[in-house]
Amino acid sequence: MIQERHRAQQRGKDPTTIGCAVRQQFEDTNTRAAAAYVGDRRELYDRLKLEAIVDSAVNLCVTCDPTVARGHGLGRQTMPETAMYSAVCAIQNCWLAARAEGVGVGWVSIVDADALRRILAIPDHIVIVGYLCLGYVSGFDAEPELAVKGWEHRVPLADVMHFDRYGTVDPLRAQGLTQTCDPATRKGSR
């Protein structure tokens, strides 16, 4: 990561200047986002660190070209949006690989895509999928930070599992299914 930053500087690009422009864009967007909250929730929102644009070693803007001929349109004639979903899967794989190497990843979605497009000179037909900050971090929490800080709580998996038809939840069936998939209990259920 550090090498890539160095190479970018050698090529005459100043990642710091670009980073500052993106950071400023985040600040502007975040001011508007924060205004949606009041009282305790607003106080909590203001205490959250929601980006690491200039602190992180690498910023990565992941884009998708929906017009690309590669793949000959397989699966995209019926669901063209899967091109973007594939890019999201790539982000997730990058996230898992980074985590395995002790590198933290943060997704910054509190930015205006049009402004980001202008800053990074991204052509109009290219879809901006995600803006990531990658870098070594002081540590990884055992629990999701937003849960620890009381912003939102994890919902039971059974609450979001729908059987046969959307809207049909069945806690017992969900429990059975999750136990079947759990490596710790799979052996005993055979």
HSE-CB at 2 with a 13 A cutoff on CA atoms is: 2
Q: Are strands 58-64 and 127-136 parallel, antiparallel or unpaired?
A: antiparallel
CA 184 → CA 97, 164, 167, 179, distances in Å? 24, 27, 29, 8
CB of 27 to ligand FMN, least distance (A): 13
CB of 140 to ligand FMN, least distance (A): 6
Give dist(CA 61, CA 67) in Å, integer: 18
CB atoms within 10 A of CB 22: 23
Helix, strand, or coil (residue 107): strand
CB of 88 to ligand FMN, least distance (A): 8
C-beta closer to ligand FMN: residue 128 or 174: 128
Q: Which residue has the tokens 């690989």?
A: 97
C-beta closer to ligand FMN: residue 40 or 143: 143
Give dist(CA 105, CA 87) in Å, integer: 16
CB of 35 to ligand FMN, least distance (A): 16
C-beta closer to ligand FMN: residue 152 or 164: 152
Q: In what order do the strands lie in the sheet with 127-136?
A: 58-64, 127-136, 103-107
Give dist(CA 85, CA 173) in Å, integer: 29
CB of 175 to ligand FMN, least distance (A): 25
C-beta closer to ligand FMN: residue 47 or 190: 47
CB of 40 to ligand FMN, least distance (A): 19
**Interacting residues toward ligand FMN by CB under 6 A:** 50-51, 99, 105-110, 140
C-beta closer to ligand FMN: residue 42 or 99: 99
